[in-house]
Chains A and B, each alone.
Chain A
Amino acid sequence: MEATSVVQLDQTKAKDECLNLSLRPLQVSDVDDFMVWASDEKVTRFCTWEPYTNKEDGLNYIKNTVVPHPWFRAICVDDRPVGAISVSANSGNDKCRGELGYVLASKYWGKGIVTRAVKMVVDTIFVEWPHLERLEALVDVENVGSQRVLEKAGFQREGVLRKYFILKGRSRDMVMFSLLSTDYQS
């Protein structure tokens, strides 16, 4: 009985790893797929925004925030968007630093998709942005799944920043992670 279930688990894992994953810009025409994760309160639990309730808001977000964004990609499985990943830019003395963010439809959780997507971003962002020295990410102390993504992707945990963020009216402690361009090269 045990041997069979182990084999089944391996087969599921192998299937997950074979998922055809790609990153591409998110367009207005993707709004229906966007609404799948953006309206899900499981997904938005650690996001500053409330779940989207209407398509018009989704269209406005894509037009006004996604399209002009310095670096925003849809995470696609078989070319259909199932989430998003982005890197924010800073200016002046802070130009060396970019912040990573990501979100994934809950149906696709637990398959290593975001870890793979983060690795894909890391493979390209330091080349596309040669001025970038540091890619950082801030994760809620309770968001263990997201912390594991970053650890598996090779980010270093730097510390817990107390009451760093206000999430839906409550102050939250956040874990700071970073990956340096020099970490990536080595």
Chain B
Amino acid sequence: MEVDLSKITLRPFKLEDADDFLLCAGDDQVTNNLRWRTLSSKQEALDHIKDVCIPHPWRRSICIDNCSIGFISIFPFSGEEDRFKANIGYGVAVKYWGHGIATKAVKMAVPQFFADFPDVVRLEALIDAQNLGSQRVVEKTGFQKEGMLRKYAYMKGKLRDMFIYSFLSTDLPANP
């Protein structure tokens, strides 16, 4: 399969994306490293889009030819003291892995997010120590690896070592 990366776009989710969203969020391979429960029906996909994706502070569908093949989620921390920080997560349908799509999408998302949330100073990504593909995505998009947090949290029932990466608003290239 050939993928033309110039055709990758980001946009908010719509209810019409439910079938495509299920291909991604209904797949254990994609959700293994995410906190959300794998979805198992079109109804659940519709509910998730309505209750989570659409009201979300910053979630975008990763699209090829306007068809949803993945998502990027950036979540500012809650609480007065933590609003300057946010966390990024993303997933791409398995059949589209290996083409640099997540890297392209994250590269597009980061400056858009900082423009939308000017109070956020630090964007962080917590990535399972064994998830090499995702580590490569953040490294190629300019996140800085800060260290490994040993036995940091449970995900899907397993205690995980996680690399912590950050991208600061000051890391953005200066405007020409």
Interface residues of A (CB under 8 A from B): 48, 93-97, 133-134, 136, 156, 158-164, 166, 171, 176, 178, 180
Set A48, A134, A162: member contacting B146, Cβ < 8 A: A162
* Separation of A29 and B93 alpha carbons in the complex (Å): 60
Least CB distance, A179 to chain B, in whole angstroms: 10
A176 neighbours in B (Cβ, 8 Å): 146-147, 149, 164
Set B81, B149, B155: member contacting A178, Cβ < 8 A: B149
Interface residues of B (CB under 8 A from A): 35, 81, 84-85, 121-122, 124, 144, 146-155, 159, 164, 166, 168
13 A-B pairs (CB sep. < 8 Å): A48-B81, A93-B35, A93-B153, A134-B150, A134-B151, A134-B152, A160-B146, A161-B164, A163-B122, A171-B121, A176-B149, A178-B149, A178-B150
B159 neighbours in A (Cβ, 8 Å): 96, 133
B149 neighbours in A (Cβ, 8 Å): 136, 158, 176, 178
* Separation of A136 and B151 alpha carbons in the complex (Å): 11
* Separation of A178 and B148 alpha carbons in the complex (Å): 10
The secondary-structure label for the interface of chain B is strand
- Which one of A95, A160, A163, A171 has the highest number of Cβ atoms from chain B below 10 Å of its Cβ? A163
B154 neighbours in A (Cβ, 8 Å): 93-96
B144 neighbours in A (Cβ, 8 Å): 162
Question: Are A159 and B146 in contact, with the CB atoms below 8 A?
Answer: yes
Q: Which residue of A lies closest to B84 (CB)?
A: A166
Question: Are B147 and A158 in contact, with the CB atoms below 8 A?
Answer: yes
Least CB distance, A14 to chain B, in whole angstroms: 36
Question: Are B153 and A96 in contact, with the CB atoms below 8 A?
Answer: yes
Q: Known interface pairs A134-B151, A176-B147, A176-B149. Does A159 touch B164 (Cβ–Cβ under 8 Å)? A: yes
* Separation of A168 and B57 alpha carbons in the complex (Å): 27
Q: Which residue of B lies closest to A182 (CB)?
A: B151
Set A94, A162, A164, A171: member contacting B153, Cβ < 8 A: A94
Q: Known interface pairs A48-B81, A162-B146, A163-B122. Does A133 touch B166 (Cβ–Cβ under 8 Å)? A: no
Least CB distance, B149 to chain A, in whole angstroms: 6
* Separation of A97 and B164 alpha carbons in the complex (Å): 16
Least CB distance, A165 to chain B, in whole angstroms: 9
A133 neighbours in B (Cβ, 8 Å): 151, 159
* Separation of A94 and B147 alpha carbons in the complex (Å): 18
* Separation of A48 and B148 alpha carbons in the complex (Å): 26
A93 neighbours in B (Cβ, 8 Å): 35, 153-155
Question: Are A96 and B151 in contact, with the CB atoms below 8 A?
Answer: yes
B150 neighbours in A (Cβ, 8 Å): 134, 156, 158, 178, 180
Least CB distance, A77 to chain B, in whole angstroms: 32
* Separation of A136 and B147 alpha carbons in the complex (Å): 14
Least CB distance, A141 to chain B, in whole angstroms: 12
A136 neighbours in B (Cβ, 8 Å): 149
Least CB distance, B74 to chain A, in whole angstroms: 16
- Which one of B84, B124, B150 has the highest number of Cβ atoms from chain A below 10 Å of its Cβ? B150
